[in-house]
Amino acid sequence: MNCYDNKAICLIKNLAELKEEANKTIETPELAVTTGNAIVVFNMLVLQEILEQQACDPIANLANIIQISNSISSLNSSINIITSTTA
């Protein structure tokens, strides 16, 4: 059976796989931080692309530009810096 036959079953399978990956990530704190940072940076890049599209007509899209800029700024503050404690 492929995903086109029964989307609900595939969704559950995908959720189970995601849960397993999440559990593996949480086992290693450094990996969890790195994964979180990667997700944040990915979202920031997506928002940057949207911002560039909205900037084509800044007068009509001013509210969107401000909202997207605020979202990028908020994401920026959620990036975690990994500090090494070993010398």
CA angle, 48 then 51 then 52, to 5°: 90
Between residues 68 and 17, which one has the greater pLDDT? 68
**12 vs 15, more confident:** 15
pLDDT, average across residues 82-87: 63
Which residue carries 């995601």 as its tokens? 18
Domain that holds residue 13: 7-76
User: Is 86 inside a domain boundary?
Assistant: no
Asked whether residue 14 is domain-assigned, the answer is yes
Assess if residue 87 is contained within a domain: no
* Domain assignment of residue 2, yes or no: no
Comparing 10 with 44, the larger pLDDT belongs to: 44
Whether 72 contacts 44, CB under 8 Å: yes
pLDDT tens-digit profile of 37-66?
Answer: 998 999 999 999 999 999 999 999 999 999
Count up the domains in the chain and report the number.
Answer: 1
Can you tell me the distance from the alpha carbon of 73 to that of 67, in angstroms, rounded to the nearest whole number? 10
